[in-house]
Structure 1
Amino acid sequence: MNVSQLLQFVDRLVVERTGKHLDDVQRAVVEGTWQRQTYDDIAQKCHVTKNYVGDVGAELWQLLSEILGEDIKKSNFCSSLERVYIESSDNSNIYNINGSNNNFCPTQISNQLCPINKLKESEINTQSTSHYHDLTVAPQIINFYARESEVKTLYNSISNDNTRLISVLGLSGIGKTTLVKRFVDLNLQEFEVIIWTSLKFPKSLELLVNDLLNACKQEAKQTIDDKLKQLLDIFRDKKCLIILDDVHNIFIPGQFAGQYKSEYQDYQNLFAMIAETEHQSNVILISQEQCAEMECLDEELYPIKCLELSDLDDVAILKSTGLKDEDCWLKLINLYEGNPVYLKSIAILIKKIFDGEVAEFLAENSLIITKDMQYNFHQLFKRISPIEQQLVLELSKFEQPVSREYLRQSLDLSSMDLINGLQSLQQRYVVRKIKEDKILFKLSSVFQEYVKNCCLNLQP
């Protein structure tokens, strides 16, 4: 029994009893206990307090004790669950989860005494003969906040509408990858094939397709066209979910958003094929920039969808950070635009410099850009085009939104460059369009603070 089988097994037990899947901290407790980690080790990994992990563990052991009809605790969890797993996988027994006595019943009287709820290894192990799930490079999600509606949107788009191509978009750190992984964790059994791959270090389309075919136990044909047809046949025959993370890395830095590098231009063929051809599978693109296919295709005519993630405004983001002054948390969240990565970075700073006192930090009346934020913004500023840099530098001078007409007067840009530059900055989620009496544009406040302090002396 490996840790993946254990997590599936415990999750199944809990779902049968409560109707709810294990949450991220519960999963971490199960996995950590199996690996003989202390609560302190698990707490550090989850970025929560040791006491919180202990409370979650105690509640979980109590629940499992009720389900299994025996005393489960941290010290005997591994041995007890392994024994129960083996017994429940035995063809001579059927395990009674919903019954009142919570015991094992012999097969010959199971129809009379026990509900038919078999927990066989083939049902628990996602790597069964009919399913192939490769989540090797997918992140483990410990904390998940306030994106339930977006998870539901993903589910409806895929399961109900059979949307074949979905882009999940937003600024770095806003939670795109976390959202998609949460959806995958909750819907593992909905797909025969799940493959998660990252384009952080991009590969050619042919190598990517080779990897997908190999994962599906298909011998790749000679030409890329034949390989794409092979892949499409698999998409027709099986219910597949393919996740491509960090898609923006196949786009050219220093130019407007979403323009392909020459060596990755043929990715357009893959995305167009997925959107335009009939099949039963789904592909999710996770990116900081929109690809051209999604911009050009009409969602009313093609089964595609763009899911753009907005800021979070839930104080639960800060629950496990150890910060004080909870009544000030929402103000801190708004200051850093509800970006989980920004908030994690600033929470570390507040704990180290202000002993976790949020009110004292806010009394500084200054939007502090941490070293981690500076690094990320530096990479972003280098990535945008010279025209966008001009626009960003100009917009950073104003606390209030400004009009397109004002920008045209203050910058030596043609109408085409100005309009394309504003569109590109919106596609990168650093400029927002605001509708008042007329259309205005506003730079992201956190990015604006970085630009004001680090970039105003730069010449694009």
Structure 2
Amino acid sequence: MNLDLLFLIVDRLLIESHNRPLNSTEKLILLGIWQYKTYKQMAVEAGYSPGYFTNVVAPELFGRLSKGIGQRVNKKNCRALLESYATTQTASQKRPLRQNLAEPLPDVNQNTLPCYPSGSVPLDSPFYLERSLLEEEIYQEIGKPGALIRIKAPREMGKTSLLLRVLDYANRQGYHTISLNCEQVEQAILSDLNQLLRWLCANITRQLQLQPMLDEYWDEDMGNKISCTLYLQEYLLESINTPLVLALDEVNYIFEHSQVAKDFLPLLRSWYEEAKRLPIWQKLRLLVVHSTEIYVPLELNQSPFNVGLPIQLDCFTQQEVQQLAQRYKLDWVDGEEARQLMAMVEGHPALVHLALYHLSRKQITVSQLLENAPTEGGIYSHHLQCHWATLQEQPELAQAFDTVLNTNETVSFDPILTHKLSSMGLIKLSGGQVSVGCELYRQFFTRRSSNKRVANIRGRIPE
């Protein structure tokens, strides 16, 4: 069966059963199954960790499909069951399928139900909570020649949603905008300065719809950084008449390659400094977005992280949670429900949105949601399983987090581990103190770690 048609049938099934169609990673899983690939092959080709596909994406997908079809779905029988189901649906006159693949998905009460919160909040969404003071500060800064803006926050705190609005503002000013996500860059490129700089220039060139001229400017005798700088200055910036906003998202992925970071990050700083003496560099406005503090040692006068405008995204306040609940049409009058939710997730934006979405569907109460929240059957199961899979793949990271879970005293361990846990949102850093990110994480990971220790002990006891 044609895979495009199959995806349409499965989308309809999942919308009817879960109000959410296939996401991009789930489509990769199905495509890989049709191509008889292992989870490892699927993950490596797509740039994900194998454990994420094996332990998180596939189990959740099969669970949703099982509920929708009414039969237990797994990797071995997935293809046969879906093809049988699709054939039945195609033959049925009760559910006519779209003949035109460009035709939109059926309306699922779009006017009354909010969309399932996943990833960044769309520009036209009423469920985006404005950070008015920060946004206005950024808009003013981006209008300044040679501006550099640094946005920092753990993952899923709203950085990309904010970035969308900054780029939209810049577009409305008539600026050129380029957005590049370092998370999407292959490791082979991130670990090689020459390839990284050529990747950067090639992507900017493509998005500006200019002819690539890299080989004409790249000179081994001058070196990669000078070649890249000249390409930007003499070709790209000379070719445009309005400012260029260059947004580099998830720059922390470069931190993991310390030698490359020691060359690349000072290069960003040098472009910022060039704007003070060369008018052409004033066209460039840099947006650097990252999830952790910089943990690569740099000279103070070379770091881009101590110049420009710093922006720190924090968790929602109780008042903001209450305000967002109103947008989800929840009748929270006295603030008690908001307080209870804050006690569990501490205003974590992604977790708050997910809770309010489920509550808005009137199928679960606040007390039921919070009781099941730190369990495998709760609404946060996918989010928690993702973090668990990451920790299992990095034992040193898991051990460090376990230390935080099991002590009330100040703990100190490798700065890189601290920054990674902080970027995941699993820990909070305040005045030298390290603590668990929220009660949800404390309860879930304490129980998971305890169960794992018990299982290990039992495994060592002879029967």
The interval holding the TM-score normalised by the smaller chain is 0.5 to 0.7
Equivalent residue number for residue 41 of structure 1: 110
Q: Is the 8 A contact 1:272 1:293 kept in 2?
A: no
Residue of structure 2 aligned with 1:213, choices 197, 205, 215? 205
Aligned residue runs from structure 1 range 13-412, under 5 A: 40-41=109-110, 44=113, 140=123, 142=125, 143-160=127-144, 162-164=146-148, 166-203=149-186, 204=189, 205=196, 206-216=198-208, 217-222=210-215, 223=218, 224=224, 225-233=226-234, 234-235=236-237, 238-248=242-252, 250-251=253-254, 258-260=255-257, 267-268=264-265, 270-278=267-275, 279-280=281-282, 281-291=284-294, 297=300, 303-313=307-317, 314=320, 315-326=322-333, 327-331=335-339, 332-350=341-359, 355-359=363-367, 361-362=369-370, 364=371, 367=374, 370-382=380-392, 386-398=395-407, 401-404=408-411
The whole-number CA distance in structure 1 between the counterparts of 2:158 and 2:305 is 29
The whole-number CA distance in structure 2 between the counterparts of 1:449 and 1:329 is 20
Q: Comparing both chains, which one has the higher relative contact order based on Cα–Cα distances under 8 Å and sequence gaps of 6 or more? A: 2
Residue of structure 2 aligned with 1:441, choices 434, 437, 462? 434
Q: State the AA in 2 paired with 1:336.
A: V
In 2 relative to 1, CA 210–200 (structure 1 residues): closer, same or farther, beyond 3 Å?
A: same
Q: Secondary structure at the match of 1:447?
A: helix
Equivalent residue number for residue 106 of structure 1: none
* Residue 424 of structure 1, CA deviation: 5.4
Q: Does 1:432 align with 2:441?
A: no
Structure having the higher helix fraction is: 2
* Residue 339 of structure 1, CA deviation: 1.9
Q: Does 1:451 align with 2:445?
A: yes
Q: Is the 8 A contact 1:322 1:356 kept in 2?
A: no
Unaligned runs of 5+ in 1: 1-34, 49-136, 252-257, 408-416
TM-score by length of 2: 0.55
The whole-number CA distance in structure 2 between the counterparts of 1:345 and 1:301 is 32
User: Deviation per CA, 1:337-357, whole angstroms, max 9, x where unpaired?
Assistant: 2122212333455567x7343
Q: Is the 8 A contact 1:323 1:357 kept in 2?
A: no
In 2 relative to 1, CA 240–341 (structure 1 residues): closer, same or farther, beyond 3 Å?
A: same
User: Deviation per CA, 1:20-71, whole angstroms, max 9, x where unpaired?
Assistant: xxxxxxxxxxxxxxx99979435556569xxxxxxxxxxxxxxxxxxxxxxx
From the CA coordinates, give the structure whose radius of gyration is larger: 1
Count of aligned residue pairs for this structure pair: 311
State the Cα RMSD in Å: 4.1
Q: Secondary structure at the match of 2:129?
A: coil
In 2 relative to 1, CA 42–451 (structure 1 residues): closer, same or farther, beyond 3 Å?
A: same
In 2 relative to 1, CA 458–190 (structure 1 residues): closer, same or farther, beyond 3 Å?
A: farther
Q: Secondary structure at the match of 1:286?
A: strand
The whole-number CA distance in structure 2 between the counterparts of 1:244 and 1:301 is 13
The whole-number CA distance in structure 2 between the counterparts of 1:402 and 1:394 is 10
* Residue 158 of structure 1, CA deviation: 2.5
Unaligned runs of 5+ in 2: 1-103, 190-195, 219-223, 276-280, 454-463
In 2 relative to 1, CA 360–379 (structure 1 residues): closer, same or farther, beyond 3 Å?
A: closer
* Residue 434 of structure 1, CA deviation: 3.9
Q: State the AA in 2 paired with 1:220.
A: M
In 2 relative to 1, CA 174–207 (structure 1 residues): closer, same or farther, beyond 3 Å?
A: same
TM-score by length of 1: 0.55
The whole-number CA distance in structure 2 between the counterparts of 1:338 and 1:263 is 36
Q: Is the 8 A contact 2:293 2:419 kept in 1?
A: no
User: Deviation per CA, 1:92-123, whole angstroms, max 9, x where unpaired?
Assistant: xxxxxxxxxxxxxxxxxxxxxxxxxxxxxxxx
